[in-house]
Chains A and B, each alone.
Chain A
């Protein structure tokens, strides 16, 4: 797969604070890319530079092979952005909002109506078009934000913490929409999130800390590198588990043992078959990866 985003040696300082420090990464076409980090890690700065609203001190960003600075207009046509907070006009109707945002890309008149029809079918907007934005629920508003981001048929959808503050049901709706977009349109999705369960679904994850990459890889690679496995045993007493010599914790109706990796878990089971009559082995979670990489517990919901 070809790279649709390439960032090379990107740096940006605010006074003496290095917001982004020699950052390099790549995003492949059609993939769901998760960009993780605590607040102030440099995520928003990177996105702002990528979108052309901020100028870097040094480095290069290529979007679909185009320099984001030299070909700013073309690059902006390739990016659709869903901001953390809706940037649409609450007093205007959905139609008026999308009409004005489409005009920013030169999509007016009949071209706008055609595109609106496509988006209405994709995001089920028909019943919402005449309603003002401030009368919509959080989930409906988010759908309109996504419609705004897609109004000019971008190749890359940038989601900047799109589900922060939304209830689980609405988050599910939003992710279904994003999932359909990826499946049907082969859309590349560049995601920042505090919810590790969302990052766990990504094709590739980059965790940044203090403007630098702290870890990167697929969720599985990260889990293998930064967390161990867990064996959850049912119906055994604590004294016997303690003899195994591995750290453990009591959870509801079971005991969970932490082991460094799957091989170690297998050895343990083979050597102590009498203890392992009812058990399950699970990989570590993205929360554990984030915690081990940054030393900070993620703010959002935990991976299930």
Chain B
């Protein structure tokens, strides 16, 4: 255990020594927020005002709260996974530099090494994502705050869970990579593609039925829905307070992917947590087994 802690410390130190990588990872969510607010804010705003019944009765503050909630939930849902892919470069760097060969001539177990990479990436990704979350909350506070303390706590929990998931996923994918160039390529693909398949860039409800069914098998989708629910719950409640009928709010929740359906059956929040939690455990187990198997294969 002490050996693992020392290795985690080594991995975290190496991550923060690469200041370029750290600051790039740190400002990416901030850049995303600016881009979203600039280019997508109006689209979301128009969408709410044109689709809501009695939209003219709804105050501008609530609309802004909804827009803010949708923006930050999209950013956080994507960032937790994409930042993990950017942060999880050390295991590949160690292959290229020969450090992994140095480790392999020692009696340390491959499972200890792989778990130390996992926790180091988890720590660095968490630091960046929590900073991003703070920035997002500051933005929502500026445009229209409707969240309760419980919403913030649940959002924090969602971010942690999604970071656990993103780190596990990136660990498995990066396991096969051998150079910095490959990491950059994978990072670019994930950054551009993940937002679509997790429902962050476009609501899953807007996709065709077949695609919706396929996406409903992906655990990340449920992470997005959880973040969406907790970032927007307060604003949606404020909508009801302003007289928008419950049925309209439920329809809005369907459109926004706050409600997710698995082959027509609505997936409740506890089940979403269960799916994401099980996915994390399975992915970490697969990653550790892959490391152990690789050693045996040699």
Residues of A within 8 A of B (CB): 51-55, 72-74, 76-77, 79, 81, 83, 85-89, 91-92, 96, 99-106, 108-109, 148, 152
Query: Nearest chain B CB to A187's CB is how many angstroms away?
Result: 17
Q: Which residues of A contact B3 (CB under 8 A)?
A: 103-104, 106, 108
- A-contact 0/1 string along B1-26, CB 8 Å cutoff: 01100110110011001100000000
Contacts of B18 in A (CB 8 A): 91
**Besides A85-B98, A101-B102, A105-B106, 13 new A-B residue pairs in contact (Cβ under 8 A), listed by A number:** A52-B105, A53-B298, A76-B105, A83-B102, A87-B98, A89-B10, A89-B14, A91-B18, A100-B7, A100-B9, A102-B6, A105-B108, A106-B2
Q: Chain A contacts of B10 at CB under 8 A?
A: 89, 92, 96, 99-100, 103
12 pairs, CB–CB < 8 Å, chain A vs chain B = A55-B298, A76-B107, A86-B98, A87-B99, A89-B99, A92-B13, A92-B14, A99-B10, A103-B3, A103-B10, A148-B102, A152-B106
Say whether A88 contacts B102, CB under 8 Å: yes
In the complex, the answer to whether A100 meets B6 with C-beta atoms within 8 Å is yes
Known: A87-B97, A103-B3, A103-B7. A54 touches B107 (CB 8 A): no
**Bound: A55/B2 CA distance, A:** 29
Q: Which residues of B contact A91 (CB under 8 A)?
A: 14, 17-18
Q: Bound state CA distance, A76 and B103, in angstroms?
A: 11
Asked whether B104 is an interface residue with its Cβ less than 8 Å from the other chain, the reply is yes
Does B266 reach chain A (CB closer than 8 Å)?
Answer: no
7 tightest A-B CB contacts, nearest first: A103-B6, A87-B102, A104-B106, A100-B10, A87-B98, A73-B107, A91-B17
Complex Cα–Cα for A88 and B94 (A) = 10
Which applies to chain B's interface (DSSP): helix, strand, loop or mixed? helix
Asked if B2 contacts A104 (CB within 8 A), the reply is no
Q: Are A108 and B6 in contact (CB under 8 A)?
A: yes
Chain A residues lying within 8 Å of B103, measured Cβ to Cβ, are 104
Interface residues of B, Cβ cutoff 8 Å to A: 2-3, 6-7, 9-10, 13-14, 17-18, 97-99, 101-108, 298
- Expressed in whole angstroms, the Cα–Cα distance for A109 and B17 within the complex equals 23
In the bound complex, what is the Cα–Cα distance between A72 and B298 (angstroms)?
13
Query: Which of A72, A85, A87, A102 is close to B107, meaning CB atoms less than 8 Å apart?
Result: A72
Quote the shortest CB–CB distance from A49 to chain B (angstroms): 10
- Select from chain B the residue with minimum beta-carbon distance to A50: B105
Q: Which residues of A contact B6 (CB under 8 A)?
A: 99-100, 102-103, 108
Residue from A77, A79, A99, A103 with most neighbouring chain B CB atoms (10 Å): A103
Cβ 8 A contact of A79, one of B101, B102, B105, B298: B105
Inter-subunit contact B106/A96 (CB<8 Å): no
Taken together as a complex, chains A and B put the C-alpha atoms of A53 and B14 apart, in Å, by 25
